[in-house]
Amino acid sequence: MESSSSTTLALYGKSSAETEIAQLLKQNAAIKLPDNTQVSILLPSEVTKKPLEEEEEAFDAQLFMNSLSTTQFGRFLIWSPRLPSTHDIVSHNFSELPLGAVCVADVQFKGRGRSRNVWESPRGCLMFSFTMQMEDGRTVPLVQYVVSLAITEAIKDVCDKNGFPPINIRIKWPNDLYFNGLKVGGILSTSTYRSKFNVSSGIGLNVHNEKPTTCLNAILKELSAGAADANQFRREDIMAAFFNKFERFYDLFINQGFHALEELYYQTWLHSGQRVIVEEKNEDGVVENVVTIQGLTSSGYLLAISEGGQMCELHPNGNSFDFLKGLIKRKLQ
């Protein structure tokens, strides 16, 4: 279908306005990859003329669009059967794409995680990245929490709509998604400043891939006690439900601040009242203390209280894959 040195991208629009943008991007060959890999751009009418649809379980763009009810997010879609990284597509081409544009892939082989970790993403995993633009730099670190909350609520919405047993995915600070102690997904948000903050957020969610941990459909099968396999999550439904939910949450976040979502966020995360060990430097070196997590600070770090009643802000030390190990305490006045 495509050589290892080329990437095929299909462009879709929810309305004629987004479709016109897709046509211009193809005409000008405007979408690039960071390593200058050859890019082949297709419009929807051309996808059926090429062997793209022969890909097993290819993402169904029309199914996604039919379930989308947003005014901005997700209305311009880039789909690829296989590419290095969805995040690289949207971040590298940020100025060429309409705000809210999303890139989704069936397989990505150079996905990005925290601290430049490479995230391998197999078939059956929902992998997408999208764009937004923000003016207040103080709110940029908090948007990853809005994304995390929206994807957990989207999964609940899909369960309700389809009559599935409820699946309560929990948030592990700062940006991991867990079910019963197993990681099922994660979020990555990056930004650059160009008079405004250009933010790219990506989500990886195990939908139909049981490796390396578990996935939503395996959880659903277990909760359904062997019910018909026809009851399954579809990536298209989850991604549409995410944008429908995120657009509402994002509007609240921008206009009212994160406190408008804080109560729901704390109901969803794993850490209220959790006791953790933190490191603190003094004249004798580094000592460890036990603190209890209370919530988030205004800058997006963990708010905790020491056994002596001192409020403090917890920062990761940057050396551990698990952000809750090796936390560094900073006292708050």
pLDDT, tens digit, for every residue of 284-325? 888 888 999 999 999 999 999 999 899 999 987 654 556 677
101-145 pLDDT, tens digit each: 999 999 998 755 554 555 557 889 999 999 999 999 999 999 999
Q: What pLDDT does 188 receive?
A: 95
* Per-residue pLDDT reduced to its tens digit, 21-58: 999 999 999 999 988 889 999 999 998 644 554 456 79
**pLDDT by residue (tens digit) across 228-251?**
566 899 999 999 999 999 999 999
Per-residue pLDDT tens for 153-172? 999 999 999 999 999 999 99
pLDDT of residue 184: 96
Find out whether the peptide bond into 174 is cis, omega within 30 degrees of 0.
Answer: yes
Contacts 24+ apart (CB under 8 A), 138-143: 138/298, 138/299, 139/253, 139/254, 139/257, 139/258, 140/189, 140/191, 140/197, 140/199, 141/299, 141/300, 142/253, 142/258, 142/296, 142/300, 143/189, 143/199, 143/201, 143/250, 143/253
Separation between Cα atoms, residue 304 and residue 299, nearest integer Å? 14
What is the rounded average pLDDT for all residues in the chain?
89
The confidence score (pLDDT) of residue 210 equals 87
Say what the pTM is.
Answer: 0.91
Strand partners, 188: 202
Distance CA 295, CA 116 (A): 27
Q: Are 284 and 277 in contact (CB under 8 A)?
A: no
Categorize the per-residue pLDDT at 181 as very low, low, confident or very high, splitting at 50, 70 and 90: very high
Q: How far apart are CA 23 and CA 38, in angstroms?
A: 18
pLDDT at position 113 is: 52
Other Cβ atoms closer than 10 A to 260: 14
pLDDT tens sequence across 250-289: 999 999 999 999 999 999 999 999 999 887 777 788 888 8
With 80 as the cut, is the pLDDT of residue 207 above it?
yes
pLDDT given for residue 254 in this prediction: 97
